[in-house]
Amino acid sequence: MGAPQITQVSFENPFVDELRGEASGLLGPRQVPGYCYSRVVPTPVRDPHLLAWSAELGAYLGLAKPAERGPAVDALAGNLVTGSMKPFAARYGGHQFGNWAGQLGDGRAISLGQVAATDGSRQEIQLKGAGPTPYSRRADGRAVLRSSLREFLCSEAMHYLGVPTTRALSLVATGDSVVRDMFYNGNAAPEPGAIVARVAPTFIRFGNFQIMAAHSETNNLRALADYTIHHHYPELGPPSPAVYVRWFEEIAQRTAVLVAHWMSVGFVHGVLNTDNMSILGLTIDYGPYGWLEPYDPDWTPNTTDFGSRRYAFGQQPRVALWNLMALAQALTPLLDDAQALRPGLDVYADTLAATRHALMLRKLGLTPLAPEADLALTQDLPEALAGPEIDMTVFFRHLSHLAPALVAEPGRETERFDELLAVAAYAVVPGEDQLLRQWLRRYALRLRQEPASGETLRANMLRANPKFVLRNYLAQGAIEAAEAGDLSRLETLFEVLKTPFAEHPAHDELAAKRPDWARDKPGSATLSCSS
C-alpha cells in the first residue's frame, strides 16, 4: 500500500487546543488582544495546480506526491480543509528595522495543523499566500509566484547545505493574478499568484512573546512559554523560573549556531526583524534574501534597507544579539530577577564565536593544531576577501581543489594564487589583492602542518564548501521561465541544489559567478519586501 495523500492523514492541533484563541472566523483586519491566534479558513483560489514538490520532505512526512490537480493540491492551496485540520493564523508583534511595529501576525500564512513524520516528530504545515486573516492589515493575504518560488527553492537548498531552516513541501500556482508594486515605486502590476506549503516543528517567533509582553498579557505569555517548552524543549523539564532561564540560553545557543552557518555560506537574510526570528533557531521567512557574490560585509539585497544597511551581511551577528535582547525583555515578566536572562546573551556570543571558528576551520581543511594562530587566520580572512571583490562561494570551492598543490608544491604558490584570483575575483585592482596574497601565504604554510595527505584535505574541504548556492540571478531565471510556463529551469535547479557539494559537471553554469548583466537587474541583484 502506498503513502497517503495529505487529505488522508490525521492532523493534530496542539497550538489551537492548548492555547487561548479567537474563534470568530472573521477575516477583516483588526487588533486581536488577549489571544495567541485566530481561527481562520483559507480563501479558495480559481485553479490550483502543482508546480513543484519536495519528494524527500514528502517521504519524511509520509506523504505521496499528488497529481497536478486534484483533492491533495486543493488542500495545499487552501481550497479544501479536511475534518482533522483546525486552520489558524498566529498573533505576534515585532521590531521592524529597530522600531516597535505593534501587532503583526500571520497576515498571509495559515497553519493547517501538525502531521506525524516518519521519525515520530510532529511537523506543522503552513500555507503561505492562502488569503486574508485578521493580521493582514491593508494587504490581501496572497503571495506571488516569484516570491513563492524563491522560498520553495531556498528553504530546501538551505536544508541540503546543512543550515537550520524551515522547509518547503510544495509550490502551487493559484490561477489568480495578484497585484504588486515590486519596488514600491508606483509601478504596481498583476503577477501570477502561488502558495508555498512550508514545514517546521513550529513557526513560533520571538514576536509571539513580544506582543504578549507589550500588552501585559502575562497569563498568555506564560502559557505560550510553557507550551513551547513542553512541546519543543521537553528535555528541559517542567516549566519553572529556572527552566525559563535555561530555555533562553538554549534559544540563544541555537540562534548563534544559525547565524554562524549563515556567515559560513555567505547567506544574507535581508530582513531580520524580531518577528522573523524562529524560537527554534531556524531560518524563517525567505523574503529579500541573497548570497554574497563580491565579498562585502556591508551588502544587503533588501532595497528597503539601503539607507541604514541594518541587515547587511556583516551586521547579522549583531542584529541577532539585539533581537535576543528584545526577546529577553519580553520574557522578564516570567521571572523575579530581571537580570536572570543576561547570561544567555553571553552564551550567544561564546557559541557564535566558537561555531564560526569551527566552521571556518572545516572550510579551510584545518584541524585545531594551533589554536591562537588559527584564530588569527580565520579572523583575518574576511578583510582579505573584501579588497579584490572575491566571490566567496567560488573562492572556497576552488581553494578546496588547490589544497593538494599548496601542500606538495611550495615553490609554485604565486602561480596557484594567480589562478585562484583569476577564477574567484570579480575585479582585481592592482594592490588591493595584496592583503589576500599575504593571507594565502600564511594559510599555505599552515596547511602543510596538517597530517592528512593533500587528497584527503581536498576531499574534506569539498564536503565543507558547496559548489552550488541559490544565487539571485539563478532564481530569477527560474522565475521568468516559470512565469512563461517553462518549469525546466526550476526542476533542474532544484535537483542540483539537493546535492550542493557534488561536482555536477553537466551543470557547471549553475556554479558560475554572477554575470555582468545581472549586476543591477531587478530580482537578480536586489529585491524588496514585496511578495
Q: How far apart are the first and last CA of the chain?
A: 40
Q: Residue 122 burial by CB count (10 A; 0-12/13-18/19+): exposed, middle or buried?
A: middle
| 74, 106, 226, 275: the active-site residue | 275
The helix, strand and coil proportions of the chain, stated in percent and rounded to the nearest 5, come to: 45, 15, 40
Nearest to 207 by CA among 135, 126, 269: 135
The answer to whether the beta carbons of residues 164 and 281 sit under 8 Å apart is: yes
Compute and round to an integer the Cα radius of gyration of the chain: 24
What whole-number distance in Å separates Cα of residue 465 and Cα of residue 448? 20
Q: Where is 341: in which H helix or E strand? A: none
Cβ neighbours of residue 277 closer than 8 Å, sequence gap 6 or more: 205, 206, 207, 255, 284, 320, 323, 327
C-alpha cell at 339: 537580570
Cβ neighbours of residue 402 closer than 8 Å, sequence gap 6 or more: 416, 419, 420
The answer to whether the beta carbons of residues 210 and 327 sit under 8 Å apart is: yes
Confirm whether 275 is a catalytic residue: yes
What whole-number distance in Å separates Cα of residue 277 and Cα of residue 267? 15
Q: Helix (H, G, I), strand (E, B), or coil: what is residue 285?
A: coil
Give catalytic residues, as residue numbers.
Answer: 275
